[in-house]
Amino acid sequence: MRRWILEKFSVMTEEELAYWIAAILFVFAFVAIKPSRYFDVELPQVLAYVAVGFLIYGFWTYLSPVLKKASESLIVKAVWAAITIAGATVSFAFAQLMVNETLKVPSSAFPYTQTLVAILVAPVVIGIFVLALGLVLIPVFQVMLYSETGQLSIKSLLGPRSEGLNKKGTEAKYCVRFVAFFLILALCGYGLARNDVYLNGIGDFVRWFAFHFETENYSSCVVDPGTRVGYLGGDRVVAASKDGDVYDFKVIECAT
């Protein structure tokens, strides 16, 4: 039995093997639903999460060489560059807005905080871009399913398939890819819909970092004891104070 399994696995690609492991884990998760009720262990959920991980990994082994080959095109490189610039711009704009909304003062007084927040909000921005591009590219992906190695060409779509693509199980593999594609979009949407805890954590970091690293204890302005100062330019400054775990930021005139 062991030898037969090893022989079967040896002829599979990395993608196919990942899909098979995911399928087996899903079956085990389903079988373990009833027995797990008698134990204080969420075994089905754990198995399902691991199965989803293998499913996404298998899809990535298919998608990675496709993206690598597509990146050789100048047009695709230009598109990726545009997406990267757009993503960075959105991240910095999001960071500026978040610093302003969190501290209730002009964000220009905290450039380093904005930079760090732009990095922290990058996963959220990436999720938005993946979801948006994924929904837009659904027709393109459907065409890729029926072409060899993900090529987008009329010949690969309408021409006869090679002998390797006609073997049993190929259509099932394409269907699994399609399911994995929508699963990734669903995970992005789910994560974006439930990102309040993450963004609240970033808000706490903004207050802590801005207070401790972008304001000064000693300045030319006369302020109350324990109040730190951040500079806006001109005669206005940001006065920052802390009472327990509560931070307070406000704009005042610099009195000398």
Write the pLDDT tens digit of every residue in 88-138.
999 999 999 999 999 999 999 999 999 999 999 999 999 999 998 888 877
pLDDT at position 7, please? 67
For residue 73, what are the CA distances in angstroms to 41, 68, 137, 170? Answer: 50, 10, 18, 28
Q: 120 with 193, same domain? A: yes
Residues 102 and 65 in one domain: no
Same domain? For 2 and 90 the reply is: no
- The predicted-structure confidence for 165-213, as pLDDT tens digits, reads as follows 445 556 777 788 888 888 999 999 998 888 889 999 999 999 999 999 9
pLDDT band at 145 (very low <50, low <70, confident <90, very high): low
Asked if residue 222 and residue 101 are part of one domain, the reply reads no
| One domain for residues 116 and 160 | yes
Give yes or no for a contact between 253 and 231, defined as CB atoms under 8 angstroms apart.
no
Task: Report the C-alpha gap between 117 and 203 in whole angstroms.
Answer: 9
Cα distances (angstroms) measured from residue 193 to each of 144, 188, 197:
29, 9, 11
pLDDT one-digit tens code per residue, 10-62: 777 888 889 989 999 999 988 888 777 766 667 888 889 999 999 999 999 98
pTM of the model: 0.78
- One domain, residues 120 and 181: yes
Enter the DSSP assignment of 150: G
Q: Tokens standing for 242?
A: 């802390």
Do residues 145 and 90 both lie within one domain? yes
d(CA 196, CA 204): 12
Q: Residues 205-245: pLDDT tens digits?
A: 999 999 999 999 888 888 888 889 999 887 889 999 998 88
What is the spatial distance between Cα 62 and Cα 59, in angstroms, rounded to a whole number?
5
93 and 57 belong to one structural domain? no
CA 216 from chain center: how many Å? 35
Structure-token pair, residue 87: 């993503």
Q: Are residues 37 and 150 in the same domain?
A: no
Please report the pLDDT score of residue 6 as a whole number.
66
Q: Is the domain of 147 the same as that of 226?
A: no
Tell me the residue range of the domain where 224 lies. 217-253
- Residue 119 shares a structural domain with residue 17: no
DSSP state of 221: S
Q: Is the pLDDT of residue 1 over 50?
A: yes
Position 226 scores a pLDDT of: 83
* Domain shared by 117 and 242, yes or no: no
**Which of 70, 95, 125 is at the close of a domain?**
70
Determine the pLDDT at residue 71: 77
How many CA atoms lie less than 13 Å away from 17 in the CB half-sphere? 11
Last residue of a domain, which of 49, 70, 91? Answer: 70
The total number of structural domains in the chain stands at: 3
- How far, CA to CA in Å, does 202 sit from each of 100, 194, 197, 199, 213? 13, 14, 9, 5, 16
Last residue of a domain, one of 70, 98, 125: 70
